[in-house]
Structure 1
């Protein structure tokens, strides 16, 4: 059975267009709720969202769907994705839902589902929900007397703030540290500055005035210029940029220079290893992580396990193989001793702790290795031709083989389709930056002309 609704990270698309409509949201809630109904207890689902205008469309639709099958709904309001995972588990809820399209613009939205353990659903469970959606009218609904109830959790922000603060070393404070925090006008616009302030930092918040339309717009982890400029303008020690649902981060050092997720993973891995707290003998990352990270970890006697792109695949490998640190170059950082999914704020606190302990500038602490030249180009397909069909064309396959031959074992080529947008991502890395640029250019041109 093919997947009609679920992609790389839940359901995502243009708001008020299939599959992100009120009607489908209601059906998804009924199907997911029916899947998690078990036992005679009062069943509960926790629902959070980011700051998109369309959250007002999807939140009541999902609430109605869950209530209709007899589940109580706890509404969190704007909260980071990792907070939903944490509160689902903390409140002993039967499932959790995050309404967000993460780093996408406001026009998009999505639905991410969590199981009672606070982890995102596996492919197998998503497929079971997909099957229920194929025959939605057969799902039994509750009688009038057994309908669910909905209530708002007024102290949700405070619960998450305390949870995050408790991941920071008890013997440290952030006194004297000037920190720029860019919240992408998204879900963490209240909690992130508060956490930093309460730990003693001199906080310079930016992109903390969401209006429903400006989430991720010229700000946040995917558009870092605002954060970089603020670091330099205010003479800050470090900059932190979160994305719209705050499950990823990108940093800037005191000079405003970008520090990506690979460098963050390297720093946290070394810190945990030094404290004898790193489990599994290495780090889990995706196929996108730079070979420089792999070489750095190897020098530390650590392994790098690669997975497909998507933090839930990172988490799956971590759980199966006993690792407690994983992440993505794009900034998802998963520290399973604390969280069930990527948490940009918790990862940032680990970096800030390392800065305090080292008592050196960020530029000297957060760059553990020199990355190999790497280039990524996104090719948008607008012809309506399925991405798999484009990648299956012989001319495209020949271009990829030719690119790999040019690198001649000194690098690698990675071609993949986006799980959230009609894009084909072309990436190459190697020791020769000019050659890498040529390989990406040639493959991208072939894909563009073929589609």
Structure 2
């Protein structure tokens, strides 16, 4: 197993040029996280969105002066239309054409930007609550890098443009493009897998407020499946495909048991993270559905963050596994490095299931083109196609893998500085760390690639890291039995909460 050094890239919370450093002062709460810019809606609407859109456009023009248009898409959260309008106004202010792509999945927008050879901005907060939102940026070749983030922040810090305060919305160009963009995205998979590939399969689609809630239904039907849409929501629901709320787990199980489905599937808000449950309603881990995609298409090189489980190495699907820090930019950078070193058949995925193609995938002689950004559709289809191929239930297919038991959850409302203080003490004070872990085992080794990961002598793992997207401390555990993993997760959250509470007066939420 290779490891990408944490020294090779800035961390997801690296200090970029201060937003308020230039004449155009912006809220301090906005920052680039593991994928894109995130912050409270109140900190993003208006001037801040315009400033970051303009900073991105200037950076894109510095790389490709011939740029003439920028695509703008959005998810279904309540603030996204207004923020999208702010971005389009800034693009037009820069003298470029702002193409309103409407409500489309993030990977569909990225695919369209690659096809047209132009930049794009996706207005989305992904899985975080409706009071927050964000911007994801794409260059013509795909998702931006950490170096691009720093360049955009530098452009924003230098802005001195009073006109940004009150930009009028110009002509809307591209109204109705969502239908064609979604159709092209559906066609990407139907052209490769065929219109009868899922014939005889029965699938429930949990629609909630995913921007792909109708697209996913249409796609599965286009592949021949019988589809039942369930759980369509009138308000935005923040579905996190990595840390499942108890209400979500119970609902998915209820749907599965009521309908004799082969699977229940869904995505997060912008459809770059999948949620897949087997025929019993058991929700599969994101790293497992990513692994199924690698198995389906025969990829030889897997790139994945340190938070994904050790099942990847133990599965035998490939011996070439590259571990990275958490965040799609790190996975993309490692995929590019793998390609430059001569490796082939490169796929990346995260613990949340978002799957990235660093190489074309081959299915029965047809090529699924590379797409270097997180995608929810491929891992969803992978499990269903393996069921269709084998005639076996999804639970049995997953049961063939040495999955073990991995779980994750988080403590909410933990400021980044608090998380860093806690992680710093665990990392630097060996005596404190061992005393801290005494209730659950002895420490065998420590990994500081991203956050701090403790391997215990019985083979179990406890890994803490600060979220790059929200004020949360995340805890990941892995063990050979479900009971051990469950106990470790409960202990890991409570032990961290006690330590954090001792440093402040307000209680930390689960």
* TM-score bin (small chain): 0.7 to 0.9
- The 5 Å alignment of 1:54-93 reads 54-93=79-118
Which residue of structure 2 lines up, in the alignment, with residue 144 of structure 1?
none
Structure 1 CA distance for aligned equivalents of residues 124 and 86 of structure 2: 14
> Structure 1 residue 307: deviation in Å?
1.1
| Residues 361-393 of structure 1 deviation map (CA, whole Å, 9 limit, x = unaligned) | 222123332433434342334578543234334
Moved more, 307-316 or 368-377: 368-377
Which residue of structure 2 lines up, in the alignment, with residue 362 of structure 1?
394
Assess if the C-alpha contact under 8 Å between 2:194 and 2:223 holds in 1.
Answer: no
- The 5 Å alignment of 1:43-62 reads 43-62=68-87
- The 5 Å alignment of 1:69-218 reads 69-93=94-118, 95-117=119-141, 119-137=142-160, 150-154=173-177, 155-167=180-192, 169-170=193-194, 172-209=196-233, 211=234, 213-216=235-238
Under a length normalisation based on structure 2, what TM-score does the superposition of the two structures give? 0.77
Q: Kindly tell me: are residues 127 and 139 of structure 1, through their superposed partners in 2, closer, same or farther at Cα, counting changes over 3 Å?
A: farther
- The 5 Å alignment of 1:175-324 reads 175-209=199-233, 211=234, 213-216=235-238, 222=244, 223-273=248-298, 278=299, 281-297=300-316, 300-322=317-339, 324=346
> Structure 1 residue 103: deviation in Å?
1.1
| Residues 240-285 of structure 1 deviation map (CA, whole Å, 9 limit, x = unaligned) | 1211111111211111112122222332323333xxxx2xx33111
In the alignment, which of 420, 423, 429 is matched to residue 472 of structure 2? 423
Structure 2 CA distance for aligned equivalents of residues 224 and 345 of structure 1: 20
Which residue of structure 2 lines up, in the alignment, with residue 29 of structure 1?
53
Segments of structure 2 that go 5 or more residues without pairing to the other structure are: 1-13, 19-30, 165-169, 340-344, 361-368, 444-455, 505-510
Assess if the C-alpha contact under 8 Å between 1:374 and 1:436 holds in 2.
Answer: no
Structure 2 CA distance for aligned equivalents of residues 101 and 437 of structure 1: 26
> Structure 1 residue 164: deviation in Å?
3.3
In the alignment, which of 346, 352, 355 is matched to residue 330 of structure 1? 352
Structure 1 CA distance for aligned equivalents of residues 88 and 217 of structure 2: 30
Moved more, 383-392 or 26-35: 383-392
> Structure 1 residue 32: deviation in Å?
1.0
Assess if the C-alpha contact under 8 Å between 2:208 and 2:237 holds in 1.
Answer: yes
Structure 2 CA distance for aligned equivalents of residues 45 and 427 of structure 1: 38
DSSP-derived class of the 2:184 partner: helix
Structure 2 CA distance for aligned equivalents of residues 192 and 438 of structure 1: 35
- Root-mean-square deviation (CA, aligned residues, Å) is 3.0
Aligned length, in residue pairs:
432
Which residue of structure 2 lines up, in the alignment, with residue 378 of structure 1?
410
> Structure 1 residue 193: deviation in Å?
0.6
Structure 1 CA distance for aligned equivalents of residues 264 and 153 of structure 2: 41
Q: Kindly tell me: are residues 289 and 48 of structure 1, through their superposed partners in 2, closer, same or farther at Cα, counting changes over 3 Å?
A: same
Structure 2 CA distance for aligned equivalents of residues 229 and 369 of structure 1: 26
Structure 1 CA distance for aligned equivalents of residues 240 and 302 of structure 2: 31
Which residue of structure 1 lines up, in the alignment, with residue 433 of structure 2?
400
> Structure 1 residue 206: deviation in Å?
2.1
Assess if the C-alpha contact under 8 Å between 1:249 and 1:348 holds in 2.
Answer: yes
Structure 1 CA distance for aligned equivalents of residues 391 and 100 of structure 2: 42
| Residues 169-226 of structure 1 deviation map (CA, whole Å, 9 limit, x = unaligned) | 23842221110112331210221111111221110112345x3x33336999943443
> Structure 1 residue 148: deviation in Å?
8.9
Under a length normalisation based on structure 1, what TM-score does the superposition of the two structures give? 0.86
Which residue of structure 2 lines up, in the alignment, with residue 2 of structure 1?
15
> Structure 1 residue 106: deviation in Å?
1.9
Assess if the C-alpha contact under 8 Å between 2:128 and 2:240 holds in 1.
Answer: no
Moved more, 58-67 or 440-449: 440-449
Structure 1 CA distance for aligned equivalents of residues 480 and 396 of structure 2: 23
Structure 2 CA distance for aligned equivalents of residues 153 and 350 of structure 1: 30
Assess if the C-alpha contact under 8 Å between 1:181 and 1:204 holds in 2.
Answer: yes
Structure 2 CA distance for aligned equivalents of residues 353 and 267 of structure 1: 10
DSSP-derived class of the 1:101 partner: coil
- The 5 Å alignment of 1:404-415 reads 405-406=442-443, 407-408=456-457, 410-415=459-464
Segments of structure 1 that go 5 or more residues without pairing to the other structure are: 142-146
Q: Kindly tell me: are residues 88 and 383 of structure 1, through their superposed partners in 2, closer, same or farther at Cα, counting changes over 3 Å?
A: closer
Assess if the C-alpha contact under 8 Å between 2:292 and 2:379 holds in 1.
Answer: no
Assess if the C-alpha contact under 8 Å between 1:42 and 1:72 holds in 2.
Answer: no
Assess if the C-alpha contact under 8 Å between 2:108 and 2:185 holds in 1.
Answer: yes
